[in-house]
Structure 1
Amino acid sequence: MIRLYIIRAVLIAAVASTCYWLGGECSLGLAILIWAGVTTGACALGAALLRTSRVGEITWRNRAAGYLIPWGWRLSRGRLWVAAVFSWVTWMAVGGAAFAMRPGAMTEPSTTGVRAALFAAWVIDAAALVYVLGTIWQATPGSRVRSLWKLVTVITAVLGASVGLYVTGRPTEALMFGGGPPLAVGGGMGLFVLTVLIFGRNTRWN
């Protein structure tokens, strides 16, 4: 599982770097058009590779498709076209965020560190949102998912507010708003793990 997360993080970083470079080589409109064409072809190719693969047999087709359409499988319920479309939307969102991170693309220039941290915060927020939606989608009938829908609302509001702050020329505030919750949650989990490592697993917590 950790290996999967690392691979996806590397994929996102590679895509973001490519789009960031592309945004500097041509106009924003042309860059978006080129990226849309590339992602459409990549997702269509990934779907075709899986469609022609034999069931139960792992070949280079499956592995290649896993890099091209890695997103949306928890929401697809086995439907290939849903995963392909969701992957296309995800790749377009990653590319769009990378284009927006270029100095002066959508707002006043800010430091590279702020833009990189903000991009990472958006990725984490979006990943959390998709994970919660996938959990709701896979829940059995009658399950209590009301609290999860509240969490979806909160994450969506945080992400939307952060994007809005960035677009209106306040990247630092956008980073604080978008990166604050992931930092707090991650810090709390890290503190808990550190406490367990220091005091041992046999510590009673009740």
Structure 2
Amino acid sequence: MLFLAVTRFLLVAAAAAACSLLAERYGTLAAGLIWAAAAACACGAGTALLATSAVGRVTWRNRVAGYLIPWGWRLNRGRLWPVPIISWVVWVAIGAAALVLRPGPAAEEPPGLGVRVALFAAWVADAAALLYVAGTIRQATPGGRVRSLWDLAAVIALVLAVSVGLYLGGLATAALVVGGGPPAVLGGCAAVFVLLVATLGRNARWN
């Protein structure tokens, strides 16, 4: 699980860095188009590798495809074709976020690099949570729980949309508070819980 999280983090960071380099050389619009086309080629290659790999065997094809189309597996319900589409959308969204957070040439006082990096991390965390909840909805059986999951997904989407809107409106700090506040609070609570379990769990009785 930790290896998967680190791998995803490195993939996202590499994608953001690649988009920034493309924007510096070709401009924002051209960089976005180039990135979208490159992501489509990568997702197509990943799909071809999986389609031609042997069933029941893990080979280099599976491993490489896992880096090219890493998202959407909890949403596919056993089918291959949704995975490259979802992965392409995620790749494009990552690139778009990186390009949006680049200070424009006409910006008088652009937000600092630390604020923009933190905001990018917050948007990634929000989007990852939204994708996870969507996968849970896709796998859940019909019932009352699905309704609550839809409500949660709507809240996460609203938080993400408001944060992006605030940044585009020139309120970078407010955007960071809105977009990064919930992940920071949840992460802090999880860290405290893990710390308590690690320090007190050995002597606690759970029955």
- Range of TM-score over shorter length: over 0.9
Q: State the Cα deviation string for residues 14-46 of structure 1 (Å, max 9, x = none).
A: 111111111111121111111111011111111
Q: Which residue of 2 aligns with 1:90?
A: 90
1:195 CA displacement: 2.1
Q: Which residue of 1 aligns with 2:13?
A: 13
Q: Which residue of 2 aligns with 1:165?
A: 166
1:106 CA displacement: 9.4
The amino acid of 2:112's aligned partner reads T
Q: State the Cα deviation string for residues 42-88 of structure 1 (Å, max 9, x = none).
A: 11111111111111111111111111001001001122110000000
1:105 CA displacement: 6.9
What CA distance in whole angstroms lies between the structure 2 residues aligned with 1:105 and 1:89?
A: 27
Number of aligned pairs? 206
- 1:34 and 1:194, CA in 2 relative to 1: closer, same or farther beyond 3 A? same
- 1:27 and 1:146, CA in 2 relative to 1: closer, same or farther beyond 3 A? same
Q: State the Cα deviation string for residues 153-178 of structure 1 (Å, max 9, x = none).
A: 11011000000001111111100100
Q: Counterparts of 1:45-194 in structure 2 under 5 Å?
A: 45-104=45-104, 109-142=110-143, 144-194=145-195
What CA distance in whole angstroms lies between the structure 2 residues aligned with 1:106 and 1:136?
A: 43
1:194 CA displacement: 1.8
Q: Give the aligned CA root-mean-square deviation in angstroms.
A: 1.8
Q: What residue ranges of structure 2 are gaps of 5+ in the alignment?
A: none
What CA distance in whole angstroms lies between the structure 1 residues aligned with 2:105 and 2:123?
A: 17
Q: Which residue of 2 aligns with 1:22?
A: 22
The amino acid of 1:22's aligned partner reads L
Q: 1:53 aligns to what SS in structure 2?
A: coil
What CA distance in whole angstroms lies between the structure 2 residues aligned with 1:102 and 1:2?
A: 30
TM-score (norm 1): 0.94
Q: Which residue of 2 aligns with 1:2?
A: 2
Q: State the Cα deviation string for residues 90-125 of structure 1 (Å, max 9, x = none).
A: 000000001111112796611000000000000000
Greater shift, 135-144 or 171-180, is seen at 135-144
Identity %: 58
Q: 1:76 aligns to what SS in structure 2?
A: coil
Greater shift, 176-185 or 14-23, is seen at 14-23
What CA distance in whole angstroms lies between the structure 2 residues aligned with 1:141 and 1:90?
A: 27
The amino acid of 2:19's aligned partner reads C
What CA distance in whole angstroms lies between the structure 1 residues aligned with 2:49 and 2:144?
A: 36
The amino acid of 1:4's aligned partner reads L
